[in-house]
Structure 1
Amino acid sequence: RYNIDSSSSVLCVLSESVRLVDGDGFCSGRLEVKTHQSWSRVCETDFDRQDAEVVCRELGCGTPLTLQGALFGEGTNSFGSKEFQCKGTEKSLVTCSTSSRKKLTCTHGSAVGLTCTGPDEVRLVDEGSRCNGTVEVFHREQWKKVSAGQWTENEAAVVCRRLACGTQVASSITESATDKTGENVQISCKGSESSLQECTVLSVSDPGYVIQVLCSGVLEQPTILMSVPIRVSVGLQSSTVFRNHSFTITCITRPQLPGGSFHLKLPWTNRSHTQTAVNHSASFFFPAANDSHQGNYSCVYENQVEIQESAYKPGRIYISFFYHNFSSESELLFLTITDSSLPAAFIRILIVIFLLLISSLLIFLVFKKCSHISRSSNRSSGEAAVRYENIELVSLQNVQNMMERRSGELLEPHTDMEREEEEEE
């Protein structure tokens, strides 16, 4: 059974050129505009109410409700250099007139934050995802839940299409939390409509069971990153690697589903490299870059999930189970392979110089060691010679003392005889 956690912020994907990020829903957040394959923030001095009307309309989010700088954080992308000059009637922001900013006036707290009134006809709530939840329709100036009576795959297909959430995967019924005296709506569509305004919407007094819809676009877009040992040029949508150098491409997805796998699409073949997702990411290592590695890469995250679907028919509820393979693909990352900025001959010279320095250092260390051993040996020999000379001097002194004592003993008897003769006289 699926259990999709989408507590993180949701990006609006109804447009390829504008989005609202880090907001409470897909119709509120910090405004970012895509130019030259990269996203940039918009400075509040370059944006006014008429510009906001165009953005909300382009995203299918009604009309502007609040417009304030830094309301949803500063973000990390750089500021764009264009000032928008919309009339308020354009269908998209990129069709508005623009002018180059005369001077840098964007400071901390000046990133445009925008909140629109919301989708003008339908939304999915209670599950924390814009592509999964209980169906609500804006009917007679109020948001109302949709009754399970008469609900089919046709209505689910229109809802997912209107929310730009892909195709419908499953519909389930749940008891309405609305008071029994409340009012829900009942919808009838053919399945080909582009919006619920083309369907028949009727009010019903008995809420009974209401509908939950799961669309195929429930997974958020994964991120693709590249890292290299020697940094050349690494951007969000393009990177450069030296020929014969290694590089790593990493795929990352938000923790909505456990497990799953990543497929890295390669530029030189229709096949892809596949790895199991570990902690919601996978890394692909390339040991030596060559010309075949140049081109576009993208990460595809896939996860097979067991789905429970239920349908309501008068007096009975039918439940079924099946597996569905959810997938989501990242933006393209273009990789350029280039030669090193240093000529090959110069690199070889540097290697030779390095080896010579290493050899000289080794010779110096060996010579220093030998000199130390020689000095130690000479010092030991000198100390031994001094000790030997001292021993000889001591020995000679002892011999001399003994001879003097012996001579004294020989002279003592003669002296005694002379003393006796003197006494007799």
Structure 2
Amino acid sequence: MRENKVVCRELDCGNPVSVSRGHLIEDGRGGVRLLRCSGDESSIRQCDIRRGRPGFCDGEYYHHVTCSESVRLVNGAGLCSGRVEVKSNQSWASVCEADFDRQDAEVVCRELGCGAPAALQGGLYGEGEGQTWDKEFQCKGKESLLLDCDTSDRKHNTCLPGNAVGLTCSEPDDVRLVGGGSRCAGGVEWYYQGEWRIVGAEDWHVAAVVCRQLGCGSTDSELLGNTNRGFLVYCSGSESSLRECSRSYDLHPGLTVICSDLLVQPDIFLTDPMGGVFRGHQGPEMFRGYNFTITCSTQPQYPGGSFLLTFTGSNRTQTQPAVNHSAAFLFPAADDSHQGNYSCVYDNYVFSHNFSSESELLSLTITGN
């Protein structure tokens, strides 16, 4: 995707919105160049350019880039965050925070192929060096393009320093894993042009990007080539979302991915049958001499597994099998040795791999009766 950003920048066409590979040219007689860019170059001439070997592309792997053209986000971490700039009279202008609201942000995020607006704040991504947009946007929030929105004259003459509006859009909810019993495992599907489509891949890079986009950790394993077939996606492995990768419409066996954060986080809670527990300022407190129970539980993703109860007050641990996706650890006669932090670790062996997930800490205080 770094090369695509340079292409759009050199053409003064905003940010790359989509990338594909196809049959723009039917043969490679015009010569093929291979680009490697850092993403900061102003022209592809500043990138590492190498001649491709004869027959390397054969017309099939020519790159197609679609740029946003009239709006872009600058200085952000990816395509979906940065300072808002609008193209005006062949130059880019930053937008003042007072002239831009949530409905305007919804249109920009949609135009760039991102998810809903997550943050909108002046100065969030620095100040623009050029001019400031001289109109106030009045979007209704349903428009496809920012320049389709109505505008009006600004209510103020200047935009004070620190008020160039910055926008963070959420990543689009356009990737899912299906059939694996977890949102972090299964066959890869991509919502594209109004429908969910199977994704194929030739290496592990796509799996790494999918796990990263879904917030599922790293790639634990991937199966290249299940029985279903989908369009082929190419990633370098460093992208934050699948939409930053390129795609080909050639059918390819689908990709199945298992991410490291397969198991949901288990819950931990404390109960007692005699009413000896109450909520203190730092969490639950237990009267000395009362019995109590710490219960670990998890959502019913997979059968089996076990719970390990850890205690920071000592090196003691207890393990019980998961029965109906939970386990109860009984403690008779609470005393000072029971004071400390507890956590539940759920372990399970699925997809021929060991997976584990740890709960939040439960801090228990023992007090006088």
| Match of residue 146 from structure 1 | 199
Q: Does 1:135 align with 2:192?
A: no
Q: Does 1:123 align with 2:152?
A: no
TM-aligned CA deviation for residue 212 of structure 1: 1.6
Q: Does 1:272 align with 2:301?
A: no
Q: Distance in 1 between matches of 2:172 and 2:315?
A: 39
Q: Deviations over 1:190-226 (max 9, x none)?
A: 3333333443x12223x24211212122222211111
- Structure 2: tracts of 5 or more residues without a match: 1-100, 125-168
Q: Distance in 2 between matches of 1:287 and 1:186?
A: 59
Aligned partner letter, 2:368 = D
| Match of residue 83 from structure 1 | none
Contact 2:182 2:263 in 1 (8 A): no
Q: Distance in 2 between matches of 1:90 and 1:248?
A: 50
Give the number of aligned pairs: 218
Aligned partner letter, 1:246 = N
Q: Does 1:336 align with 2:365?
A: yes
**CA distance 1:332–1:303, shift in 2 (3 Å):** same
Q: How does 1:178-217 map to 2 (within 5 A)?
A: 184-199=230-245, 201-205=246-250, 207-217=251-261
Aligned partner letter, 2:248 = S
| Match of residue 302 from structure 1 | 347
**CA distance 1:275–1:87, shift in 2 (3 Å):** closer
Contact 1:223 1:330 in 2 (8 A): yes
Q: Deviations over 1:383-422 (max 9, x none)?
A: xxxxxxxxxxxxxxxxxxxxxxxxxxxxxxxxxxxxxxxx
Q: Distance in 2 between matches of 1:223 and 1:91?
A: 39
Q: Deviations over 1:346-379 (max 9, x none)?
A: xxxxxxxxxxxxxxxxxxxxxxxxxxxxxxxxxx
| Match of residue 308 from structure 2 | 263
Q: Distance in 1 between matches of 2:122 and 2:184?
A: 27
SS of 1:176's partner is: strand
Deviates more, 1:242-251 or 1:225-234: 225-234
| Match of residue 175 from structure 1 | 227
Q: Deviations over 1:94-122 (max 9, x none)?
A: xxxxxxxxxxxxxxxxxxxxxx9983553
Q: Distance in 1 between matches of 2:356 and 2:283?
A: 23
Which of the two has greater helix per residue? 1
| Match of residue 33 from structure 2 | none
| Match of residue 253 from structure 1 | 298
Q: Distance in 2 between matches of 1:258 and 1:61?
A: 37
**CA distance 1:128–1:262, shift in 2 (3 Å):** closer
SS of 1:164's partner is: coil
Contact 1:155 1:189 in 2 (8 A): yes
Contact 2:313 2:341 in 1 (8 A): no
Q: Distance in 2 between matches of 1:91 and 1:334?
A: 40
**CA distance 1:61–1:132, shift in 2 (3 Å):** farther
For normalisation by structure 2, the TM-score amounts to: 0.51
**CA distance 1:168–1:234, shift in 2 (3 Å):** same
Aligned partner letter, 1:132 = A
TM-aligned CA deviation for residue 186 of structure 1: 1.9
Q: Distance in 1 between matches of 2:204 and 2:119?
A: 40
**CA distance 1:223–1:120, shift in 2 (3 Å):** closer
Contact 2:181 2:301 in 1 (8 A): no
Deviates more, 1:189-198 or 1:224-233: 189-198
SS of 1:288's partner is: coil
> Which portions of structure 1, spanning 4 or more consecutive aligned residues, are displaced by more than 6 angstroms?
none
Q: Distance in 2 between matches of 1:281 and 1:187?
A: 40
Q: Deviations over 1:264-315 (max 9, x none)?
A: 110212442111112221111111222232222111100123x3xxxxxxxx
Aligned partner letter, 2:207 = A
- Amino-acid identity (%): 53
Contact 1:267 1:293 in 2 (8 A): no
**CA distance 1:87–1:136, shift in 2 (3 Å):** closer
Give the counterpart of 2:355 among 323, 326, 331.
Answer: 326
Q: Distance in 2 between matches of 1:126 and 1:257?
A: 13
Q: Distance in 2 between matches of 1:286 and 1:91?
A: 54
Aligned partner letter, 2:187 = T
**Higher CA-based Rg:** 1
SS of 2:264's partner is: coil
Give the counterpart of 2:115 among 57, 62, 67.
Answer: 62
Q: Does 1:225 align with 2:269?
A: yes
Aligned partner letter, 1:212 = T
